[in-house]
Amino acid sequence: MSDNQAPIEATRPDGGRHHVVVIGSGFGGLFATHRLADADVDVTLIDRTNHHLFQPLLYQVATGILSAGEIAPSTRQILKKQDNAHVVKGEVVDIDVDKQVVTTQLGDFTRSYSYDSLILAAGANQSYFGNDHFAQFAPGMKSIDDALEIRARIIGAFERAELCNDPAQREKLLTFVVVGAGPTGVELAGQLAEMAHRTLKGEYSNFDPSSAKIILLDGAPQVLPPFGKRLGRNAQRQLEKLGVTVKLNSIVTDVTDSSVTFKSTKDDSVETIDSFCKIWSAGVQASPLGKLVADQCGVEVDRAGRVPVNPDCSVGDKSNVFIIGDMMSLDRLPGVAQVAIQTGEYVAENIAEEAEGRSVEEREKFEYFDKGSMATVSRFSAVVKLGKVEVTGFIGWVLWLAVHLMFLVGFRNRLVSVVSWGLNVLSRNRWQLTTTRQQLHARNAIALLDELSGPGADAPIEVKDNRRFALNKILNKD
């Protein structure tokens, strides 16, 4: 056995200070790590990617407004000036809350880290509500890979339509189905409509891009359910003005390579839509690492994989194990960035103060400050809910721009994003529409390669990494 394959004892930073392991470099994990910068602790931040992802703007990568780097800066570069932070890239494959050890893998390298406090902020994956086979034909929107694949599918549909002489086949190619009328689905449908009617106008010789059909499906009776009926109706009207067909009370029952089938909850009627490009944004499932910890703490996760936590975000009787953000269930808080940020900072402050000698019993319970919700429908149009205050149209759009700009990490990313948004207002062109075959096919190709490779240890490294990721995803399934 080679050295990098040999079992390695759990390590921790030298010096003997309180060691905090943070799993996940999203909003919760990153803000927790930042808040511990001046604390008398050492921090190890572990994530399977090398970047911090601004997930609310993934749809702008998918539709060519922003590049991937502008919403996903390198975690190491973000934290390079924080002396007490150490970044580890790897897939977390085990957590032992009794031994206080986290084990990670990256390729053939396995490493274990002992901790004094653990912050679990691994976020959530796309949920297909028990129909995971839908994912082959309808990618979700949870990662840079997802956004780039969706971009390739969108542009690929238009390029195929240019070569197609059969009107029925061209109609299928130009029918885009977005499943899920939450913020991501609404924003994506709006941008698809703008691409078809504005961005791609005049770029194809054999058809008119504005003939594309964008269909938004959701099982709920309104668009944007958390925003309330008034804002939901406003968003739906704006989408319909853009040419989007909104079908509510519609539950998807099947997705194939060429169609989407859904059932009406009103009259049980069934309809099938022929479509080349399908996109799924209809649900989330918390990282299975939550169930891994919950089982050890004697706590039962909910249907979405979220872990019920104590008022201080700790789990069960483990006062040094915290679950935050999308992974936790507390006071029916939504899975939004602000919850992750505020729980991350709250937990970090408790750890810092207890490292200085404060007792665990002195913790105050977490209290969430709702800073509102917002979604953009198109250029100059957004809906914003700030408590009882509801804002729509241009003012809502300006608020949306300001808030999202504020939470982008890094001066360069903010500057480039402002320039990109400004150009999108002034010009119909988009400068991030490059696609590749690899973006389009890689996810399903790796899955097929996994099937062809069999269970042997000599499988390609891409397959072994993918198996670890897939195994991690199904840990929470019975």
- The residues annotated as belonging to the active site are 187
CB–CB of 394/381 below 8 Å? Answer: yes
Both structure tokens of 408: 């982008």
Task: Please give the backbone phi and psi of residue 30, each rounded to the nearest 5 degrees, phi first.
Answer: -70, -45
Distance CA 140, CA 128 (A): 9
The residues with which 287 forms a beta bridge, in sequence order, are: none
Report the candidate in 356, 337, 333 with the shortest Cα–Cα distance to residue 345: 337
Cβ partners under 8 Å of residue 136, min gap 6? 257, 444, 447
Tokens of 363: 């913790």
Give whole-number Cα distances, 298 to 217, 307, 309, 316, 445, in Å: 38, 11, 12, 7, 39
Tell how far CA 433 is from the center of its chain. 21
Helices 461-474 + 437-453 axis angle, to 10: 80
Cβ atoms of 375 and 186 within 8 Å: the answer is yes
Per the DSSP assignment, residues forming a β-bridge with 158 are none
Half-sphere exposure of residue 460: CA atoms within 13 angstroms, side-chain side: 12
Give, for 401, the enclosing helix (H) or strand (E). Answer: helix 393-407
Closest CA to 63 of 411, 389, 376, 446: 376
What's the CA gap between 270 and 266, in Å, rounded?
11
Residue 24 tokens read as 């996940």
Is the CA virtual torsion 438, 439, 441, 446 positive or negative? Answer: positive
Please, which residues bridge with residue 393 across strands?
Answer: 382
